[in-house]
Amino acid sequence: MKKKYLFTPGPTPLPPQIQEALSRPIIHHRTTEYQEIFSEVNEGLRYLFQTENPVFTFASSGTGAMEGAVVNLTREGEKALAIVGGKFGERWQEILEAFGRECIPLEVEWGTAPSAEEVEKLLTEHPEIEVIFATLCETSTGTKTDIEALSSLARRKNKILVVDAISGLGAMELRTDEWGIDVVVAGSQKGMMLPPGLAFLSISERAWNKVMDNQVKAYYWDFKKMRKSYEKNDTPFTPAVSLVVALRESLSLIKEEGIENVWKRYSLMAYATREACQELGLEIFSRSPAEAVTAVKVPSGIDGGNLFRLMKDKLGIQAAGGQAQLKGKILRIAHMGYMDYMDIFLVISGLETALSIMGYPLEKGKGISKVAEIFVKEGVFS
Ligand SMILES: *Cc1c(COP(=O)(O)O)cnc(C)c1O
């Protein structure tokens, strides 16, 4: 027998309550039974997103809702700003270009986040820009962007801010209404403790007015259709019933713990991971590290691919490697979904063990001692 441990930034492990909900017999969606669930889910989503705005639920992966945001919120030929500092920022640019929008990319070095000043400068150079596309947690580099600062800039400049929070939501602080974010996109398989298959999008009144003015060339992704149904507590097409039923359990777990406590838990787990890695002599890749995923540099003399495979095949611990230019150079450890403090001991001791098998010089136990020290000091076990 070999146990497997998932530390990838999506999909993430599922709590037993959710696995149980997923195994229930399916119900029909045009019933009061389903409508009650859907209405409860919508309330829970507004809590998770920290918004009074509508939150749409689509049967799709997260990218679907990103595409929906581009198609509904911009016109053909329109200039839009996208912050590009990794694979997912690139995705905003690729979607914009696929639909004939003119993307003005703000290219930032991978592993760094843009400052509001850099964004403002580009907005001044291109005053026609109406919409800014950003990423809360750039999962490919483990980097956090200061969305609060961007949002306040967007308010001041009267621009619409769209945030890809697919990996961040549920693991990282995000206050949609308080910060004034217009559109937040999320997906089920990252911080929401669910399997892949649902995408979410919250939309402010300001952004909605732009959708209403737009001649949207879409059918499934037509937000006007979505909103009409949403207001009747319904969806225009068949919802992913089983996932929505499981979502109710996820949202109730989040509500029970309290969103602030959830953010605190992941933030402490990420902090302990970073400190433990540094204790082992490893370097954190990002200069603005996210709480949802830690990217640690593979030390010189160690083959990143071999480290990843040794952890996965021999230890049963699946983290994620680097993508594109970071392939073989970083290891990404997720802190999202169904994860708790003890999981950090597991992944750090796995990393220590794998590195020492590979001949990397380290003092065994130093990483997990650091984790224990931090958690005890923070009162995690009291
Ligand atoms: C995973 C991820 C996506 C893509 O989501 P899919 O569900 O695979 O379509 C987009 N953006 C970020 C930041 C992600 O982490």
Cα–Cα dist 294/285, whole Å:
8
For residue 96, the surrounding DSSP H or E stretch is helix 87-98
- What is the model's pLDDT at position 163? 98
- Domains of the chain, each with CATH number or no CATH: 5-10+258-377 (3.90.1150.10), 16-257 (3.40.640.10)
Q: Does the beta carbon of 133 sit less than 6 angstroms from any atom of ligand 1? A: no
Q: How many angstroms does the Cα of residue 376 sit away from the middle of ligand 1? A: 34
Q: How many angstroms does the Cα of residue 74 sit away from the middle of ligand 1? A: 21
Q: How many angstroms does the Cα of residue 65 sit away from the middle of ligand 1? A: 10
Q: How many angstroms does the Cα of residue 102 sit away from the middle of ligand 1? A: 22
- What is the model's pLDDT at position 220? 98
Contact (CB, 8 A) for 111 and 286: yes
CA distances from 362 to 151, 278, 282, 284 (A): 43, 11, 10, 16
CA distances from 250 to 47, 340, 369 (A): 12, 15, 32
Q: How many angstroms does the Cα of residue 200 sit away from the middle of ligand 1? A: 12
- Counting as low any pLDDT under 50, the low residues of the chain are none
Cα–Cα dist 248/188, whole Å:
12
Residue nearest to atom 5 of ligand 1 (CA): 62
Pocket mutation for ligand 1, best pick of 88, 93, 183, 194 (most atoms within 8 Å of C-beta) = 88
- What is the model's pLDDT at position 209? 98
Q: How many residues does the chain have?
A: 382
Q: Does the beta carbon of 164 sit less than 6 angstroms from any atom of ligand 1? A: yes
Pocket mutation for ligand 1, best pick of 92, 133, 139, 291 (most atoms within 8 Å of C-beta) = 139
Q: How many angstroms does the Cα of residue 363 sit away from the middle of ligand 1? A: 36
Q: Which residues contact 353 (CB under 8 A, 6 or more apart)?
A: 315
For residue 332, the surrounding DSSP H or E stretch is strand 330-334
- What is the model's pLDDT at position 341? 98
Pocket mutation for ligand 1, best pick of 190, 221, 291 (most atoms within 8 Å of C-beta) = 190
Q: Does the beta carbon of 62 sit less than 6 angstroms from any atom of ligand 1? A: yes
Residue nearest to atom 15 of ligand 1 (CA): 167
- What is the model's pLDDT at position 373? 98
At 200, the amino acid letter reads F
Q: Per residue, what are the HEC states of 132-157?
A: EEEECEECCCCEECCHHHHHHHHHHC
Per-residue pLDDT tens digits for 323-379: 999 999 999 999 999 999 999 999 999 999 999 999 999 998 999 999 999 999 999
- What is the model's pLDDT at position 192? 97
Cα 156 to its chain centre, rounded Å, is: 26
- What is the model's pLDDT at position 324? 94
Q: Does the beta carbon of 10 sit less than 6 angstroms from any atom of ligand 1? A: yes
The string of DSSP codes covering 235-263 is -SS---HHHHHHHHHHHHHHHHH-HHHHH
| Number of the ligand 1 atom closest to the C-alpha atom of 189 | 7
Cα–Cα dist 220/359, whole Å:
53
- What DSSP designation does 326 have? G
Q: How many angstroms does the Cα of residue 63 sit away from the middle of ligand 1? A: 6
The string of DSSP codes covering 26-43 is P--SSSHHHHHHHHHHHH
Q: Which residues contact 42 (CB under 8 A, 6 or more apart)?
A: 54, 55, 57, 230, 233
